[in-house]
Amino acid sequence: MVRPVRRMISPLEAFIASEVSGGVVLLVATAVALIWANSPWSASYQELWGARLRVAVNGAGLDLTLHQWINDGLMALFFLLVGLEIKRELLVGELASPRQAALPVAAAVGGAVTPALIYAALNAGSDAIRGWGVPMATDIAFALGALALLGSRVPLGLKVFLTALAIADDLVAVLVIALFYAGELDGRTLALAGAILAGLLALNRARVAQPLAYAALGVGLWLALLHSGIHATIAGVLLALTIPARTRIDPGEFRERVAAALEAFGDARAPGRSVLSDARHQRALRATEAAARQAQSPMQRVEDALNRWVTFGIVPLFALANAGVALGGQLGAVGDRVTLGIVVGLFVGKQLGITGATWLLVRTGVSSLPSGVSWRHIHGIATLAGIGFTMALFIAELAFAETAHLTSAKVGIFAASLISGAVGLALLRRTPAPGMRPVAEPAG
C-alpha cells in the first residue's frame, strides 16, 4: 500500500514545490469565480460573500461580511508575508546594498509611477481619478509562475531581477495603500495602535524569539488599525518589521551541537538498540531539533509557516471572493475610461516605466544589467510585469468600494493581465536562451 500511495502523493508534492504552482491555483480560483458569477447560480455568489459572520468574546466582537473577513482579515496574513519578504530582501537579498538595489528599485518605481500617470491623464476631471493606484502593482505569483513556464530559456539573473523588482513593487504598493487609501483617521485607535507597535518593538529589543508573543500583539494591532481609518492589512507589514531576523545561535555553535548529538546517536543501529526505548537517543534527537530551531530566525520560521497557507489558501480565496464579475452587459466597459486607464497603464505603462528606468541607470553607469540578461529580456519582463492581479484587485476594492467603477476596474485588470502575460511570454520565448545565438535566416 505504501508505494501506490507514495506514487500518488509525489506528483502533488512536486507541484506544490514548483514555481508555477501558486499561479496555477490562483488562475483556477479566478476562473471559478468568473464562471460562478456568470452562471445561473450567480445570485448565490453575491449572497455567499455578503453573508455576515459575527465573532464575539464576552459580548464584544466584530460583525463583518465574509468578504470583509477575507479582505480585511485574512489578507493581513498576505501582507505579513509580503512584509517578511521585503525585510529579508533588505537584509540579505538583492536589496541589501545600494548598488544591488538600485536597478530593481528604480525599475519598480518607474513601473509604478508611469502607469499611475497614464491612468490619471485618461481619467482627469472625473471621480474615477481615485483609482490611479490600481495599475501600479505587479502580481509576483502570476509573473514568476509565467516566467517558470519558459524553464532554462530564462537566465537566472532575470529571475532574480524580476523577484527583486516585484518585492520593491510590493513595497511601493504598501506605501500607496497606507498613505493614499486611508479613511477618516481616528486619533484614539491610532494612538492605541502606536502603543501596541511600541510593545512589539520592545519584544524585539528584548530578544524575545517566541512567534506566539508577536502573534498575540499582532492581533491587537490589527484590531486597532481596523477602527483607525488606516486599512487593517497594514498591520501585517508593521508586524513583519518587528519580528526578529537574528538567530539564537550562530552556525558554528549549531554545528557543534549537532555533531555532539550525532555522536550520542552513533550506535542507534547496533543490534538490540531501539530509538524508541533508548533515552540517550531521544535526548540526542531533541537536542538536534532544538539546535535547528535556534539556528533559524523567528522571521524565517514565520515566513516558512505562512508561505503555503498564503499561496494555496488565502490568495486563491481572495481571488474567488473578488474576481467574480458578471460580464453580461460589460462589453461596453472596454471603452470605459477606468478600464482603458488600467489596461493602458498596466500594459503600456509598465513597459515604458520599467524599461526606461532600467535604461537610464545602465546608461548613466549607476548599475549594469544582470549576467546573461539582454535588453530583449528586460522588455519581456517589463511586459510580463503588467500582470497586476492580486494587489491591483485589492487597491481597486479600496479605491472604488461599492461604486460602479469597481466592475470596470476589474474588467481592466483581467484584460491587462491577460494581454501582458501572453505578450510577455511571447517576447521572452523569442529571446535566445543564455549561451544560444539566434538562428540566421537563410539567404535568398
Please write the tens of the pLDDT for every residue from 147-172: 878 877 788 888 888 888 988 888 89
- CA distances for 68 relative to 44, 139, 221, 275, angstroms: 17, 21, 17, 50
Q: Give the mean pLDDT of 270-283.
A: 63
**Separation between Cα atoms, residue 303 and residue 307, nearest integer Å:** 6
Q: What is the pLDDT of residue 434?
A: 61
Q: Give the mean pLDDT of 269-287.
A: 66
Residue 442 has pLDDT above 60, yes or no: no
**Choice between 403 and 419, residue whose per-residue pLDDT is larger:** 419
Q: What is the pLDDT of residue 229?
A: 86
Residue 426 has pLDDT above 60, yes or no: yes
Burial of 398 (0-12, 13-18, 19+ CB in 10 A): buried
**Separation between Cα atoms, residue 33 and residue 36, nearest integer Å:** 5
Q: What is the pLDDT of residue 441?
A: 44
Count the Cβ atoms, other than its own, within 10 Å of residue 63.
10
How high does pLDDT run on average in the chain?
Answer: 85
Lowest-confidence range among 190-194, 197-201, 301-305, 332-336? 332-336
Residue 4 has pLDDT above 70, yes or no: no
Residue 6 has pLDDT above 70, yes or no: no
pLDDT band (50, 70, 90) for residue 255: confident
Report the C-alpha dihedral over residues 393, 397, 399, 403, rounded to 10 degrees. Answer: 120
Q: What is the pLDDT of residue 251?
A: 81
Residue 443 has pLDDT above 50, yes or no: no
Query: What are the boundaries of each domain within the chain?
Result: 18-55+62-181+231-246+297-429, 262-293
Q: What is the pLDDT of residue 271?
A: 57
pLDDT band (50, 70, 90) for residue 139: confident
Summarize pLDDT for 401-415 with one digit per residue, the tens: 767 889 899 999 999
Closest C-alpha among 170, 188, 230, 239 to residue 211: 239
Summarize pLDDT for 346-394 with one digit per residue, the tens: 999 999 999 999 999 999 999 888 888 999 999 999 999 999 888 899 9
Residue 32 has pLDDT above 80, yes or no: yes
**Separation between Cα atoms, residue 329 and residue 13, nearest integer Å:** 42
Q: Give the mean pLDDT of 177-203.
A: 91
pLDDT band (50, 70, 90) for residue 55: confident
Q: What is the pLDDT of residue 16?
A: 43
pLDDT band (50, 70, 90) for residue 80: very high
Residue 439 has pLDDT above 50, yes or no: no
Backbone dihedral region of 97: left (phi > 0), alpha (psi from -120 to 50 degrees) or beta?
beta
Lowest-confidence range among 11-15, 67-71, 108-112, 119-123? 11-15
**Separation between Cα atoms, residue 226 and residue 222, nearest integer Å:** 6
**Separation between Cα atoms, residue 82 and residue 306, nearest integer Å:** 10
pLDDT band (50, 70, 90) for residue 12: very low
Residue 3 has pLDDT above 60, yes or no: no
Identity at 223, one-letter amino acid code: L
Which CATH code of 3.40.605.10, 1.20.1530.10, 1.10.287.1060, 1.10.1740.10 fits the domain covering 18-55+62-181+231-246+297-429?
A: 1.20.1530.10
Q: Exposure string (b/e) for 264-276, b if CB count within 10 Å is 16 or more?
A: bbeeeeeeeeeee
Task: Please give the DSSP secondary-structure letter assigned to residue 69.
Answer: I
Q: What is the pLDDT of residue 8?
A: 47
Q: Quote the crossing angle between the two packed helices 234-242 and 75-92, to the nearest 10°.
A: 40
